[in-house]
Structure 1
Amino acid sequence: MTDLIIKPQTAPGLPGTEFLLPEVFARSGKRATYRFVEFFAAEIRNINTRLAYYRALTTFFDWLEEFYPGLEIEQINSIVVARYIELHPGSPLTRNQHLSAIRSLFRWLLSGGVVRENPTVEVRGVKHRVKQGKTPILSDEEMVQLLGSIDISHVVGLRDRALIATMFYSFARIGAVLGMDVKDFFHKGKRTWFRLHEKGGKYHEVPVHHKAEEYLDAYIEAAGFGGEKDVPLFQTSPGRGRKLTGKRLQRQEAWAMVKRRALAAGVSTDACNHTFRASGITNFLRNGGSRDNAQRVAAHEDVRTTALYDRRDDTISLDEIERIRL
């Protein structure tokens, strides 16, 4: 790929210090180059989608240079795209995501007059049907063990306990939780609420469970936020230090913390940021909560998405297995 000096300020959310332009666009002139960068900077508003599409498209165009060196952008046709999807070693979900990224980009190039047709129109995705989610969850006992194992004698331990509890009790996405400022944990009437900023610029408010409120209050008091309402609620700490930096905690840092805490607590080390969303929903449903209400709390557009987080039937009991008799 060819280096195109476009700083992150111009194309926000793109990885690295410089934006790498695929060779095929470097050969296609300034209009194609501009339209390619504009696709990420202007068309895709969600940063996570932007990063996922960037990775997918750079993988596709790198593959293109290997198998079709020197190919022009106008020469990319449905056969080329279909071959890439067919040969891709990833899961059906990953292959369909790559196809979606390629399709969206060429739709953008078509509307901008860079290409005359979208070569992905006739390319079908990989059949993929999911009835059950694969996100690892923690049992109720493991959640108690994990939260109880955290050293809360300092602010970082209080932060970690509060972060995990917030995800578990609110069913919130890690991005929504890390995007919260102190003012997004607030009182309304007699209750405390979370204001969660979700995908597509939407936000919704969720009442705070009393245990999460207890953990957040202890953390905020130790952090000394006081009247500072516009600072990040969950902040980074320098190295293994016990102070906060004032900078917003990032996903990878939260993921590393979860892995470290799970290992130290002796619970499943498969746990990840998304684990607590799935664990909280499963616990809620197991204790009599309705799937419709779980959908509303989790801010899922479709109840079928909520169903993927319902893991109550994951475990088949030994008693059931013993029903098999000869």
Structure 2
Amino acid sequence: MSDLLVPGKPSTPGSSSEGPELHLPAIVVDAGEQTARRFVEFFLVGIRNKNTRAAYTQAVRQFLEWCDERGLQFGSISSLAIAAYLERHPGSAPTINQHLAAIRSMFAWMVKGGILPANPAAEVKGPKHRVKIGKTPVLSDEEMRELLSAIDVSHVVGLRDRALIATMFFSFARISAVLAMKVEDYFPKGKRYWLRLIEKGGKYHEVPVHHKVEEFLDAYLEEGGLWDAKGTPLFRTTVATTRKLTENGLQRQEAWAMIKRRALLAGVNTDACNHTFRASGITNYLKNGGSRDNAQKIAAHQDVRTTALYDRRENNISLDEIERIRL
């Protein structure tokens, strides 16, 4: 729990003197034990997704520190104070709106628990922000081929990296869903293999495996001796430079570092990141006649407008048109 909370006065309601001491923001502690307990429950009970929890923790911490520095009490935080905080926030429009969502959700939880009579953030508006094209770097088809072919697959690490990148590209899966897979989540159904994914919001999703991914995953599992390791991570870390797989799953930061290293070695766009292959795969699919509706289903997007953000076909069209301008 300590990684969710921020330094301040020792405060965990009902905690004993044994074990690690937990801390809450001073402004929450000063509001009393009932408020402090409800505040902790917001993060541990009200938010189940760990990524959302981490983002909201940071947002709420920064806001409450700002309030504390100005001598505000938790129960007296007003909509004007929240608006003033957002006005001076140095972040981008999406970041500010995320912070507002976190603050609004936290206060709504307090109202529901009877701690506050009303939500001071309910009517506060964030900056307008409309996105038609996503900012995620996309690799061209040629770059994708160069990246995959440049990976040394004479050892299990190369086989793992190739399989991981191909899985994201051909299944449009989020990095978190791919890294969360167990060996048993690559499974046969009929004559083909499928992937079992838990996507954003805990959405259960199954997608058939592209024949190239099947080839790459089979080679990785065979070399790593993982076929019978059911219930263990599919994509694993290694022991230092020994190229020996551990029983621990890769983390997103480790996958990001691997992708940066592979992109640099292959001489392709080094801005590539964990989400690049989701966007690149969707763009490739649509260029080859796929529909947005089906792309939405494969990617497990809630809204087709989200899928549209990953469609970069217009990038090439725009460049072709610009080249029509001649002197």
- TM-score normalized by structure 1? 0.92
Q: For residue 4 of structure 1, report the CA deviation from its aligned partner.
A: 4.5
2:3 alignment partner in structure 1: none
1:46 alignment partner in structure 2: 49
Cα shift readout 1:50-92 (whole Å, capped 9, x = no counterpart): 11101111111122223x13x2111100000001111111111
Q: For residue 31 of structure 1, report the CA deviation from its aligned partner.
A: 1.0
Cα shift readout 1:10-68 (whole Å, capped 9, x = no counterpart): xxxxxxx97652121121111111111111100111111111101111111122223x1
Q: Is the 8 A contact 2:9 2:26 kept in 1?
A: no
Structure 2 counterpart of 1:257, one-letter code: M
Q: For residue 324 of structure 1, report the CA deviation from its aligned partner.
A: 3.8
* Aligned counterparts of 1:313 and 1:218: Cα–Cα separation in 2: 36
Q: For residue 303 of structure 1, report the CA deviation from its aligned partner.
A: 0.4
* Aligned counterparts of 2:11 and 2:191: Cα–Cα separation in 1: 53
* Aligned counterparts of 2:242 and 2:60: Cα–Cα separation in 1: 38
* Aligned counterparts of 2:319 and 2:304: Cα–Cα separation in 1: 31
Q: Does 1:82 align with 2:83?
A: yes
Q: For residue 232 of structure 1, report the CA deviation from its aligned partner.
A: 0.6
Q: Is the 8 A contact 1:171 1:281 kept in 2?
A: yes
Q: Is the 8 A contact 1:178 1:248 kept in 2?
A: yes
* Aligned counterparts of 2:322 and 2:87: Cα–Cα separation in 1: 39
3-state SS of the aligned residue for 2:188?
A: strand
1:148-187 paired onto structure 2 within 5 Å: 148-187=149-188
* Aligned counterparts of 2:295 and 2:206: Cα–Cα separation in 1: 14
1:117 alignment partner in structure 2: 118
Q: For residue 316 of structure 1, report the CA deviation from its aligned partner.
A: 4.6
3-state SS of the aligned residue for 2:166?
A: helix
CA RMSD of aligned residues (A): 1.7
**Kindly, what percent of the aligned residue pairs are identical?**
64
* Aligned counterparts of 1:204 and 1:197: Cα–Cα separation in 2: 6
Structure 1 gaps, min length 5? 7-16
Inter-CA distance 130–261: structure 2 relative to 1 (3 Å threshold) = same
2:262 alignment partner in structure 1: 261
1:61 alignment partner in structure 2: 64
* Aligned counterparts of 2:319 and 2:102: Cα–Cα separation in 1: 45
Q: Does 1:304 align with 2:310?
A: no
For these two proteins, the number of residue pairs brought into alignment is 314
Cα shift readout 1:258-307 (whole Å, capped 9, x = no counterpart): 11111111111111000000000000001111111100000001100000
* Aligned counterparts of 1:20 and 1:94: Cα–Cα separation in 2: 26
Q: For residue 315 of structure 1, report the CA deviation from its aligned partner.
A: 3.0
Q: Is the 8 A contact 1:3 1:18 kept in 2?
A: no
- TM-score normalized by structure 2? 0.92
Q: Which moved more, 1:88-97 or 1:113-122?
A: 113-122
* Aligned counterparts of 2:21 and 2:151: Cα–Cα separation in 1: 39
2:8 alignment partner in structure 1: 2
Q: For residue 164 of structure 1, report the CA deviation from its aligned partner.
A: 0.4
Inter-CA distance 18–138: structure 2 relative to 1 (3 Å threshold) = farther
1:125-274 paired onto structure 2 within 5 Å: 125-274=126-275
3-state SS of the aligned residue for 1:218?
A: helix
Q: Is the 8 A contact 2:159 2:219 kept in 1?
A: yes
Cα shift readout 1:136-191 (whole Å, capped 9, x = no counterpart): 01111111111111111111111111100000000000111011000100100001
* Aligned counterparts of 1:122 and 1:74: Cα–Cα separation in 2: 17
Q: For residue 224 of structure 1, report the CA deviation from its aligned partner.
A: 0.4
Structure 1 counterpart of 2:150, one-letter code: S
